[in-house]
Amino acid sequence: MRLITFWLGCHCANYFAVTSAIAVEALFLKIRNQPIAPAIGDGSAALTGILLAISIPTIAPWWIIVVGVSFAIIFGKQLYGGLGNNPFNPAMLGYAFLLISYPLQMTTWAGDFVTFTQAFEVIFNLNPVDALSGATRLDDVKTQLALGKIISELSVHSTAQAWINAGFLLGGLYLLVRRVIFWHIPLAFLSGIVITAFLLSFGDTEHYLPIQNHLMLGGTMLGAFFIATDPVSACTTPKGRLIYGFFIGMLIVIIRTFGNYPDGVAFAVLLMNITVPLIDYYTQPKVFGQ
Amino acid sequence: MFDAFNNGIVINNPYPVTRVEIIQAPLPDKVVLPLQQRIGAEAEPCVKVGDKVLTGQLIAQTPDQFCASIHASISGTVVAIDAQIIPHKSGLKSNCITIESDGKDEWIKNKGVGDFLHCSRETLIEYLQQSGIVGLGGAGFPTHSKLKKATNCHTLIINATECEPGIMCDDALMQHDAREVIRGVEVLLRITGATQVFIAIEDDKQEAYHSLLMFNHNERISIIQIPTKYTSGAEKLLIKALLNIEIPADELAINHGILCQNVSTVKAIFDAVVEDKPLISRIVTVTGDAVTPNNFEVRLGASFRHIVTLAEPNNKPHAVRMGGMMMGVNVATLDVPICKVTNCIFVNNAKPTPSIQECIRCGQCNQACPVNLLPQQLYWYAKSENTEKAMEYNLSSCIECRCCDVVCPSHIPLASYFSFAKALHRQTLKAQKKVYNARKRFEYREYRLVRNKTERTEMMARKKAELKQKWQATRLKKIK
């Protein structure tokens, strides 16, 4: 029961984000004098909205969602010429923008389980935030480690986040089975996380987060199956996808461990987006007869 | 290692039939025979309007060594030699000979070559040219010129893969004329002197496979089944699959001692050499959702309408396509003649084409590409007309099989973009060559002017020196 209300709670922001994403996209297409219906119909704006809403805290205020979604759609996509022409992942661009501009609201995690009504009230500012909020688990761990504590003294686990990640893993496997995405990026992404986390925590288990927590906390599974696999901004050659995914995974662990931000999926993806043309050029498959 | 069957796409025959038959189409009232064949110069008619011709009579031949001869496919009267619409994607008109049938189908008595085992290679090759044999798989490459190059041939590959889904004419041919096919292969063995022959047949044609097995008693001929996958019939990919030899993009298979021939060409060779019949008819598949699919043996030059009518088309508006559903060309009207390369006519109910969306680089196309290209990258460059970059991504290796078109979720006509980019590249090269030549000419002119000038000054100097010498000599004399 708690799971179901939690599930609904997480959805409150999603519906709002999707609506505003479609509205912004339609508005901008109108300004650009482009046909509106086919572009909305392909669902890409709705997808950007949902991915962004999933990435930001469940209880972020409504204007955070609107600002983030608008930035993602306008600066992440439409200014480059619309779908298919954007070098960066629009949702992650929106997320990075929000994280840098509004760090407080973006790192507030709603305790562990939040219901739909609670989420609704907080998002639309009907109820004071304090009743629910706390730092996210990754943020918390980082702060505590910085204060000189060691892993065994901390609670590094979060059941809610583990559930979320398990859900994304299942969803991702479904996409794989349906052949919507190819296996290269998720596999390389997760191996990048596992290998880097292993190398870090191998000698020093007390100061570095263990592998399983890297996998089950934050946006790992969401990133592996839903974010990094965005075909437009990802590598397009089979070999390139492996390199691309691996380095995103590696960068995430490095940012989580040494960076200033609690989670690094957005920055890792954006950084690797920049390298896509280079990787694609040097990983062309061998053409028959050449 | 490159696996020839790793890529490509599986498309089952969209309009299967329970029994593959060959229906003899009735004699057409009129045939239209184009003088322009697929490659080479236009043939020159050797009959005049009003002449009586017999079936199998030579009516046009060409001084071009590259082309094959053209024969009357029915007996009757030549009524016109003029421009007619031919089945070509441009819809252009081309010169044709029109013969009206007298309904008798009287054959000319051709002087054959006799027993082919006693003929020389050259005699047979020349005879094939005179019999008008060209590649019947769809490309229409003249068989004799291919054979002429095959001086050092060790392996013969008979392509019985039926190049595209939906086409059944080769399947039908093998089921009904397996003996003739094997005998035709033996003629080719005699011509090329190859030591081994592989007949490659797709594994969905079990009946044809068994018919061939039944008639094959030659230990040099092996019949090999390959997976049914689109583009496995492409020459170089087939060679890779059978022999594991990868022919480089800029080389011909024949330079590696391998000769490929289509199975219906082999049958035509048999007809010419053993039965003394020139190429005047062929088997055509008529298929699509607007007709009852079947194969028809029909005289060349009969109109599409002539056999489409036999396939009981419905009364809805149709979209007609010559050749396969993949690489064929759309034709605007059914009133075009059947040519040597017309292996299939698709008659479908006209459907609206799905709207084209943006490329999201999903990569489905490069998974399907049989030659391992990156269509998603090529598309980007072809669209922006950046042919230089497209060539870097091996645009020239594209075989335009349209696998990428079929799998594209955005319905982008990728192959059309690529063939456009190729043409654009050729044009750029031509222009570049022109500029290069002009510059060379200019440079030579500059060089010539400078050379003339120096030569002139040198000559003046020499003359001056000579004069001076002379003058000094006379002065010396005077002093003495």
Backbone angles phi, psi at A249, to 5 degrees: -60, -45
Nearest in space to A209 (alpha carbons), one of A155, A268, A266: A155
Question: B292, exposed or middle or buried, with CB in 10 Å at 0-12, 13-18, 19+?
Answer: middle
User: Does residue A206 belong to the interface with chain B, where contact is any CB pair within 8 Å?
Assistant: no
Would you tell me which residues 165-184 of chain A have a C-beta closer than 8 angstroms to some C-beta of chain B?
Answer: 182
Helices A238-258, A184-203: crossing angle, 10 deg rounding = 40
Q: Which residues of B touch A236 (CB under 8 A)?
A: 361, 363, 366, 374, 376-377
Give the list of residues 6+ apart from residue B475 with CB closer than 8 angstroms, or none.
none
Buried b (16+ CB within 10 A) or exposed e, A79-100: eeebbbebebbbbbbbbbbbbe
Taking an 8 Å cut-off on Cβ atoms, the answer to whether B236 and A289 are in contact is yes
CATH superfamily of B112-286: NADH-ubiquinone oxidoreductase 51kDa subunit (3.40.50.11540)
Average pLDDT over residues B452-462: 94
Q: Hey, of B9, B237, B359, which one would you mutate to test binding to chain A, going by the most A CBs within 10 A of its CB? A: B359
Nearest-neighbour CA in chain B from A67: distance (Å): 25
Q: 3-state DSSP call for residue B414?
A: helix
Nearest in space to A264 (alpha carbons), one of A275, A274, A249, A279: A249
Q: What is the pLDDT of residue A126?
A: 57
Q: How many CB atoms lie within 10 A of CB B313?
A: 19
Question: A75, exposed or middle or buried, with CB in 10 Å at 0-12, 13-18, 19+?
Answer: middle
Give the list of residues 6+ apart from residue A117 with CB closer than 8 angstroms, or none.
none
d(CA B237, CA B243): 10
Question: B238, exposed or middle or buried, with CB in 10 Å at 0-12, 13-18, 19+?
Answer: buried
Rg over CA atoms, chain B: 29
ipTM of the complex as predicted: 0.81
CA A22 to centroid of chain Cα atoms: 20
* Contact assessment for residue A217 and residue A138, using Cβ atoms and an 8 Å cutoff: yes
More confident residue, A136 or A213: A213
d(CA A281, CA A275): 10
Question: A239, exposed or middle or buried, with CB in 10 Å at 0-12, 13-18, 19+?
Answer: middle
Average pLDDT over residues A74-81: 92
d(CA A235, CA A280): 6
* Contact assessment for residue A100 and residue A82, using Cβ atoms and an 8 Å cutoff: no
- Residue pLDDT, tens place only, A146-155: 777 777 777 7
- Residue pLDDT, tens place only, B391-441: 989 998 898 889 999 899 999 999 999 999 999 999 999 999 999 999 999
Q: What is the pLDDT of residue B7?
A: 72
d(CA A38, CA B257): 53
Domain extent listing, chain B: 112-286, 355-480
Identity of residue A77: K
d(CA B291, CA B320): 11
Nearest in space to B27 (alpha carbons), one of B386, B208, B298: B298
d(CA B377, CA B361): 8
Give the list of residues 6+ apart from residue A203 with CB closer than 8 angstroms, or none.
none
Would you tell me which residues 237-256 of chain B have a C-beta closer than 8 angstroms to some C-beta of chain A?
Answer: 237, 240, 246-249
Q: What is the pLDDT of residue B446?
A: 93
Nearest-neighbour CA in chain B from A281: distance (Å): 9
d(CA A68, CA A98): 6
* Contact assessment for residue A137 and residue A191, using Cβ atoms and an 8 Å cutoff: no
d(CA A147, CA A153): 12
Enter the tokens of residue B45: 């008619």
Q: Which residues of B touch A288 (CB under 8 A)?
A: 2, 236-237, 240, 246, 249, 370-372, 397
* Contact assessment for residue B18 and residue B54, using Cβ atoms and an 8 Å cutoff: no
Binned at pLDDT 50, 70 and 90, residue B4 comes out as low
More confident residue, A70 or B21: A70
User: Does residue A285 belong to the interface with chain B, where contact is any CB pair within 8 Å?
Assistant: yes
Q: How many CB atoms lie within 10 A of CB B198?
A: 23
Q: What is the pLDDT of residue A129?
A: 46
Q: Which residues of B touch A44 (CB under 8 A)?
A: 360
Mean pLDDT lowest for which of A3-7, A52-56, B46-50? A3-7
**Torsion A229-A235-A236-A240 (CA) sign:** negative
Q: Hey, of B360, B364, B376, B400, which one would you mutate to test binding to chain A, going by the most A CBs within 10 A of its CB? A: B360
pLDDT reading at B455 higher than 60: yes
Give the list of residues 6+ apart from residue B447 with CB closer than 8 angstroms, or none.
none
* Percent of chain B scoring above 90 in pLDDT: 41
* Contact assessment for residue A51 and residue A233, using Cβ atoms and an 8 Å cutoff: no
Which residues partner with B33 through β-bridges? Answer: B97
Q: What is the pLDDT of residue A14?
A: 84
CA-nearest residue to B358 within chain A is A84
**Torsion B38-B44-B50-B54 (CA) sign:** negative
- Residue pLDDT, tens place only, A151-177: 777 776 777 778 888 989 999 999 999
Nearest in space to B210 (alpha carbons), one of B176, B243, B245, B255: B176
Nearest in space to B335 (alpha carbons), one of B72, B30, B53: B30
Helices B263-273, B178-192: crossing angle, 10 deg rounding = 80
* Contact assessment for residue A178 and residue A229, using Cβ atoms and an 8 Å cutoff: no
Average pLDDT along chain B: 88
CA-nearest residue to A41 within chain B is B357
- Residue pLDDT, tens place only, B169-207: 999 999 999 999 999 999 999 899 899 999 999 888 899
Give the list of residues 6+ apart from residue B269 with CB closer than 8 angstroms, or none.
B128, B133, B143, B184, B187, B188, B261
d(CA A214, CA A219): 9
Q: What is the pLDDT of residue A132?
A: 46
Nearest-neighbour CA in chain B from A219: distance (Å): 23
Binned at pLDDT 50, 70 and 90, residue A79 comes out as very high
How many Cα atoms sit within 13 Å of B256 on the Cβ side? Answer: 19
pLDDT reading at A3 higher than 90: no
Tokens 């040198």 locate to: B458
Identity of residue B313: P
Q: What is the pLDDT of residue B1?
A: 34
